[in-house]
Amino acid sequence: MSILVVGSVAFDSVETPFGKAEEVLGGSATYFSTSASFFTGVNLVAVVGEDFPDEHIAGLKGKGIDLAGLKKVPGKTFRWKGYYGYDLNQAHTLETHLNVFSSFNPEVPAAYREAPFVFLANIDPELQMKVLDQVKKPKLVACDTMNFWIEGKPDALKELLRRVDLFVINEGEARELSKEASLVKAAKVIMGYGPRVLIIKRGEYGALMFTASSMFAAPAYPLEEIFDPTGAGDTFAGGLMGYLANTENITEENIRRAIIYGSVMASFNVEAFSLQRLHTLKPAEIKDRYYEFRRLTQFEDI
């Protein structure tokens, strides 16, 4: 089954303790789609400016990503500039230029409207809702957000969450949204807003999933070097949703496996700047690291 994703396509300028990259391909929808494309077909809804090169279009198409929903409009593509210190869980923003993104009004092409899996990457919750208004009864709606919207549009975000099945959010944002320090309490508050599955991302510490009846803890894969954490969260979500769409199974048991596949994809993505590592990644490497996650976590019958 295919996935509909709406989000940003951007140019990032990033500096980490290990190097720097100028104006490289980035954006939540880009990372998400590229990651999900290893598992299933992806239909992308986003906007870029006239400066967006054909080479990137070809790169995304080469991954089997359907770009009928990617609009090219007059103006410049969204740009983000930031850096990371040794605490790679914390991105520091230096510049954000929304450019063509400031007037983005997502239109879902007719051919995408029956997409069974929908991922609303981190954009204005009002735009996320506009996308939901255009689709017909998806099997699963998932979304992400960020502190900017939690602080700036809390009511729209809560209205959106009533229509969301699976919510992916990072640890600090979960605490901010729920006003609870304990993640167990935070999860109860947030699930009260609507989502029946909550996944809290903890960067190098992995992810926690909460449902009404259970908790699941997935570690991050311990790496010798985390080169660039940009896009790790969207790559995680792409692997997660890609696996769910591929298996057409949204039982809790399968969501656990999907979280591991998301973690696998994120662990590769941070090994290089931009999408470089995902561009050289082989399916066999994904399978191998999935088995490494099993070895990493098992304490019985190993």
Instruction: Give residues in contact with its own copies (CB under 8 A).
Output: 17, 86, 181-185, 202, 205-206, 208, 214-219, 222-226, 253, 256-257, 259-260, 294-300, 302
283-to-39, 265, 269, 294 alpha-carbon distances in Å: 9, 11, 14, 17
CB of 260 to its own copies, least distance (A): 5
Which three-class secondary structure state does DSSP give residue 272? coil
Q: C-beta of 277: minimal distance to its own copies in Å?
A: 17
Q: Which is nearer to its own copies, 95 or 299 (CB)?
A: 299
Q: End-to-end distance of the chain based on CA atoms, in angstroms? A: 34
Choose between 96 and 211: whose C-beta lies nearer to its own copies: 211
- Whichever of 249 and 297 has its CB closer to its own copies, that residue is 297
Name the DSSP class of 222: P
Write the single-letter amino acid at 289. R
- The bridge status of strand 215-218 relative to strand 140-144 is unpaired
Q: How far is the CB of 224 from its own copies (least distance, A)?
A: 5
Q: Which residue, 105 or 214, is less far from its own copies as judged by CB?
A: 214
Residue (113 or 256) nearer to its own copies, CB: 256
- Nearest-approach distance from CB 149 to its own copies, in angstroms: 23
Instruction: Give the nearer residue to its own copies in terms of CB position, either 100 or 183.
Output: 183
Long-range CB contacts (within 8 A, 24+) of 84-92: 84/14, 84/15, 84/16, 84/17, 84/228, 84/229, 85/17, 86/17, 88/16, 88/203, 88/204, 88/226, 88/229, 88/270, 89/202, 89/203, 89/204, 89/205, 89/229, 91/229, 91/230
- Cβ contact 132:115 at 8 Å: no
Q: Which is nearer to its own copies, 16 or 33 (CB)?
A: 16
In angstroms, what is the minimal distance from the CB of 134 to its own copies? 34
- Closest approach of its own copies to the CB of residue 34, in Å: 24
DSSP 148-206: HHHHH-HHHHHHHHTT-SEEEEEHHHHHHHHT-SSHHHHHHHHHHTS-SEEEEE-GGG-
> Minimum Å distance from CB 187 to its own copies?
8
